Amino acid sequence: MLRKRSPLIICGAFIFVAWNVILIFVLMRHPSTQGALDSPDEPGNTGDRAGGGQFGNIMNEVMRVANAFEAELESQKKILMQIQSHWSVWENKGGVTAAKPKSQAEHSAPAVIPILVIACNRVTVKRCLDKLIEHRPSAELYPIIVSQDCRHAETSDVIASYGSQLTHIKQPDLSNISVPPQHKKFQGYYKISRHYRWALNQVFNTFSYSSVVVVEDDLEVAPDFFEYFRALHPVLKSDPTLWCVSAWNDNGREGFVDPGKASLLYRTDFFPGLGWMFTKDLWAELEPKWPASFWDDWMRHPDQHRDRSCIRPEISRTLTFGWKGVSSGQFYDKYLRFIKLNTEFVPFTKMDLSYLEKKKYDESFEKEVYGAPVVTVEDLQSGKLSGSGPFRVQYSSPGSFKTLARNLGVMDDLKSGVPRAGYRGVVSFLLRGKRVYLAPPVGWSQYDPSWS
């Protein structure tokens, strides 16, 4: 369409120029001008009086022509502007990327992405807040809201010491929660779930933000933490097959990630948490059925994720330093303390992230994983395999997955059948410098929630 219309527009512009040349010629040769010049030959026009009348007539005619010429130019200017406007529209319809008018670009303000810090009784929240403020590029675009449960005075003082650099809110309901007898020792999990619900309602309903990044008080963030979420914000908003973006890789220990691929991102079916972004629309879906306890495992149930995925990085953008907590340090000493925190700033906002679109990603993923040769754990551990991979280790049952995961050094637990950091049942990691996929057989179709 653009190619057909371009000659018409060029022709229109040519006619416009030609018309103005003819117009000038006609106006300058107008008959009334000639009559004024001939007026001295008329009877009664003699002497100085005749000369004065001739000069006045000439001046009046020149002024009239000038005024007419100016009016016509103004009219033609409007026509030219209409041609220019139509040209811009046809450019866009024809697939040509036209630069936005400056005024339009100036009015497209970037999204505000608040950071919600969930706090309680750890004075070490200072480490979390210091890093957030150190790496935050803009206080206006990334307001920090610290929601505190527990009313721990020392922790409250630490948070208050940051003054206007953040907003400090406090959970008003500190009452004990009635729990089933078998869950008496899990009272803390019930209070955490209650706190999350209250805090998220504050962010979305009281402060009226449209998205949020949730950070626990025992997390340290990477230098490109904000850049990471800024770049993935439009991806999350526009892709209905995604429901969160996480800064965390469950298998992101030193030696299990590729230090040369800090920009590499994945889709994952496992809800990672530990620094994650989601939208107000998702909260409207989840809030009415929010659980009384164990909210993170609840998020990993198929009734919640509904076959939607999260984005996660090769190298984590958060690091947990909180051994003490309601989980009593579960997994901390064996896995979490060794998670590698990214130190290289990756300019994600300047990168093409279209490879994360589900169709593109799945096609590439299938070829990469199932095009890799099948090997055994012994093959990998012997050091006899040449090259950097990828190699595929295959499992066929929850038991074989757990055994292989332990032997390979990755996390072996399953939540509703989904392995940590897994996508379509596949867990990707590095082992002795070789890319390895711990994968189900070809033809995998869906998770089995009984695999737990």
CA 357/CA 348 separation, integer angstroms: 16
HEC string for 186-230: HHHHHHHHHHHHHHHHHHHHHCCCCEEEEEECCEEECCCHHHHHH
Q: For residue 113, give the nearest of 271, 15, 237 by alpha carbon.
A: 237
Q: Is 117 in contact with 149 (CB distance < 8 Å)?
A: no
CA 122/CA 423 separation, integer angstroms: 34
Q: Is 353 in contact with 231 (CB distance < 8 Å)?
A: yes
Q: Is 150 in contact with 122 (CB distance < 8 Å)?
A: no
Q: For residue 231, give the nearest of 245, 219, 241, 220 by alpha carbon.
A: 245
Residues 6+ apart with CB under 8 A from 279: 210, 211, 236, 237
CA 321/CA 338 separation, integer angstroms: 10
Q: Is 247 in contact with 275 (CB distance < 8 Å)?
A: yes
Give the CA count within 13 Å in the CB-facing half-sphere of 401: 23
* Packing angle of the helix pair 47-93, 31-38 (nearest 10 deg): 170
CA 227/CA 245 separation, integer angstroms: 13
Give yes or no: 379 in active site: no
Beta bridge partners of 147: 118, 169
Q: Considering 239, 258, 296, 379, which one is annotated as catalytic?
A: 296
Q: Where are the beta strands (DSSP E) in 73-222?
A: 115-119, 144-148, 167-170, 211-216, 219-221
CA 247/CA 230 separation, integer angstroms: 12
Q: Name the residue with tokens 């095009």.
A: 371
CA 337/CA 131 separation, integer angstroms: 18
> Which amino acid belongs to residue 25?
F
Output the CA torsion sign for 126, 128, 131, 133: negative
CA 101/CA 87 separation, integer angstroms: 14
Catalytic residues: 296
